[in-house]
Amino acid sequence: MTDPTTLSAVDQVAALRAGDLDAAGLFAAYRERAAADDTNSFTWLADGPDDAAAAVPDGARARSVDGPEPTFDVPADDALSVRGLPVAVKDLFCVTGVPTASCSELLRGYRPPHTATAVARLQAGGATVLGKTNQDEFAMGSSNENSAFGAVLNPWDRTRVPGGSSGGSAAAVAAGLAPVALGTDTGGSVRQPAALCGVVGLKPTYGSVSRFGMIAFASSLDQAGVLARDVRDAALVLAHLTGAADPRDSTSIGWQGDALGLPSADRLDGLRIGVPTDLLGEGIDPGVRASFDAALRTAEELGASIVEITLPHARHALAAYYVIAPAEASSNLARFDGVRYGNRAAADDLVSLYTRTRHDGFGPEVRRRIMLGTFALSAGYYDAYYGRAQQVRTKVVEDFATAHEQVDLIATPTSPTVAWGLGERTDDPWAMYRADVMTLPQSLAGVPAISIPCGLDDGLPVGLQLSGPAFGEPRILDAAHALERAIGFDGTPPRSGRTGEGGAGGADATSGGGAA
């Protein structure tokens, strides 16, 4: 038969069910491609489909650290089976016995004693862990250049960033090194790299997917998500990530939306899509704007109506986010002190042990965010920064609620620019932070959003973001599927791929010849 890695995940699992494909062979095909990867997308590769599961003692799939042994509801519908599907997993998801470092020097070599619920649910459905993917350290970054494992190269142009923080997951899927990948999205970390790598990125409703076993960055914003080659593949994985509330994550509220299945819509009749004019001012590349406008025209041709809306506080989301997320991070990362896990710096007294371990273990961006967050929470500044940022968040939540009285979905470009050059923004934190200006408002509001490829600008992918109200995933997926079919984006990076001399972080960019 044809090379199975050219099939969608949905077609792969159908072929597995029909006996036209065997799971070991499919795994080996991806393992071989991933081992020859020249984008630095992976930090660890499993030897075989049972490798990650075999590291679990006593056959337990997800030994609870403190609580009852969990059981997971697996979708009963055969069409939603993931049995035999290899999945790439962002490094920050704990997998029992498997190296898990959140791409930090501080945690290099750490092998956790538990498995993240998102991963365990997929394993319960029969999926296998192909490997761990590169990311920005502790998910802090928009370019995947802040990784102790080196920068990831964009498969479309190896002189450019893949976006971040789930850059390895996006690049791996784009380069055909994995059928699907798990990422996490705190302020755009699934959607933005998906846009820059020309793949689909889905951030579900906050609370719908358990955060248990994800190494935390900003707990009120972190959400597991999916990177996939098409919308149906993303929907397939989402059906497994969601289900009953996880007793081990107090913000896990269980799936409360309509039943999830594979989207099949090819029309958008009656759908009202809002375009927030106040987010579409300056700073958007003309080529990105042109692809976005073309996608809106396509939506109209499919029967949707385009409605201008306002999200008056969305432009303040960037500032609010860069108070709230660092504040939460400064608290979450307090646990990395060189005592219970991770690497320790030599010191003669306890406080020096903490401070040196954290200086040597954290990279510059993580240190910067810890400092920023600690400052924003410190006496004398709390009200002016953290308090106000939380009030802005309230206004952003209200903006979305008001908008959804008028429209079903909201569309924006996912990123104001296409992928930029490695090293181009590393000296200017704010320029880097602005990369997420379109994705942060939805994160603050906790609403679901997807990025799908909608065209090319100068040979580089452009992403279209569609968001909806909480638990609006079925409608988002249907609309994204219909648009995806009508747009007909070719997600295969050019085989001749532009190549570079090596990433800013020391990644290996060696030869020409695209991975796909």
Judged by CB, which is closer to other proteins: 229, or 248?
Answer: 248
54 binds other proteins (CB under 8 A): no
Query: Looking at 25, 48, 387, 494, which residue binds other proteins (CB under 8 A)?
Result: 387
Residue among 41, 81, 90, 291 flagged as catalytic: 90
* Secondary structure in 3-state letters for 384-430: HHHHHHHHHHHHHHHHHHHHCCCCCEEEEECCCCCCCECCCCCCCHH
340 makes contact with other proteins (CB under 8 A): yes
Q: Does 348 bind other proteins (CB under 8 A)?
A: yes
Beta carbons within 10 angstroms of residue 354's beta carbon: 18
**Type of residue at 84:** G
Amino acid at 498: R
330 given a catalytic annotation: no
Residue type present at position 4: P
**Which residues between 202 and 221 bind other proteins (CB under 8 A)?**
206-207, 220
Q: How far apart are CA 7 and CA 5, in angstroms?
A: 5
Lay out the site mask for other proteins across 246-285 (x = CB under 8 A, - = otherwise): -x--xx-x--------------------------------
Residue 341 contacts other proteins per CB under 8 A: yes
Q: Encoding tokens for residue 88?
A: 């790439």
How many alpha carbons lie under 13 Å from residue 390 in its C-beta half-sphere? 10
45 binds other proteins (CB under 8 A): no
User: Considering only 58-66, 118-126, 266-274, 454-462, which stretch makes contact with other proteins by CB under 8 A?
Assistant: 58-66
Nearer to other proteins, 194 or 372 (CB): 372
Q: Can you tell me which of 65, 79, 244, 401 binds other proteins, judged by CB under 8 A? A: 65
In the complex, least distance from residue 307 CB atom to other proteins, rounded to whole angstroms: 24
189 is catalytic: yes
Name which of 72 and 385 has its Cβ closer to other proteins.
Answer: 385
Binding flag, residue 347, other proteins (CB under 8 A): yes
Should residue 93 be labelled a site residue for other proteins when binding is judged by CB under 8 A?
no
Strand intervals (E) in 128-203: 128-133, 180-185, 200-203
Give the Cβ contact number of residue 180 at 10 Å.
30
Burial class (CB in 10 A: 0-12, 13-18, 19+), 367: middle
Among 297, 335, 359, 495, binds other proteins (CB under 8 A): 359
Q: Determine if residue 489 is left, alpha or beta; phi over 0 gives left, psi from -120 to 50 gives alpha, anything else beta.
A: beta
Of 47-55, 345-353, 452-460, 490-498, which part binds other proteins (CB under 8 A)? 345-353
Catalytic pick among 189, 208, 252, 451:
189
55 binds other proteins (CB under 8 A): no
Please name the helix (run of DSSP H) or strand (run of DSSP E) that holds residue 454, with its range, or none: strand 449-457
C-alpha–C-alpha distance, residues 470 and 400, integer Å: 10
* Contact residue for other proteins among 6, 264, 277, 352 (CB under 8 A): 352
> Backbone phi, then psi, for 172, in 5-degree steps?
-60, -45
Give least dist CB 358 to other proteins, A: 5
CA gap 192, 329 in Å, rounded: 20
Residues 94-153 that bind other proteins (CB under 8 A): 110-114
315, containing H or E segment: none
Per CB under 8 A, 62 contacts other proteins? no
* Of 68, 270, 281, 286, the one binding other proteins by CB under 8 A: 68
- DSSP letter assigned to residue 207: T
Least distance (Å) between residue 67 CB and other proteins: 6
Of 278 and 293, nearer to other proteins (C-beta) is 278
Structure tokens at 247: 């007793």
Q: What is the DSSP letter of 493?
A: P
Pattern of binders to other proteins over 298-327, x per CB under 8 A? ---------------x--x-xxx-xx----
Q: Which of 167, 274, 446, 463 binds other proteins (CB under 8 A)?
A: 446
Spatial neighbors of 305 by CB under 8 A, at least 6 apart, are 271, 272, 273
Assess whether 395 carries a catalytic annotation: no
Q: Which of 35, 290, 384, 401 binds other proteins (CB under 8 A)?
A: 384
The site for other proteins, by CB under 8 A, has a size of: 76
- Active-site residue, selected from the candidate residues 102, 165, 169, 330: 165
Query: What type of residue is 136?
Result: D
Q: Which of 158, 358, 425, 475 binds other proteins (CB under 8 A)?
A: 358
What is the distance between the terminal CA atoms of the chain, rounded to a whole angstrom? 18
Pairing between β-strand 200-203 and β-strand 223-228 as defined by DSSP bridges: antiparallel
Which pair of tokens denotes residue 432? 């880097």
Which amino acids are annotated catalytic?
Answer: 90, 165, 189
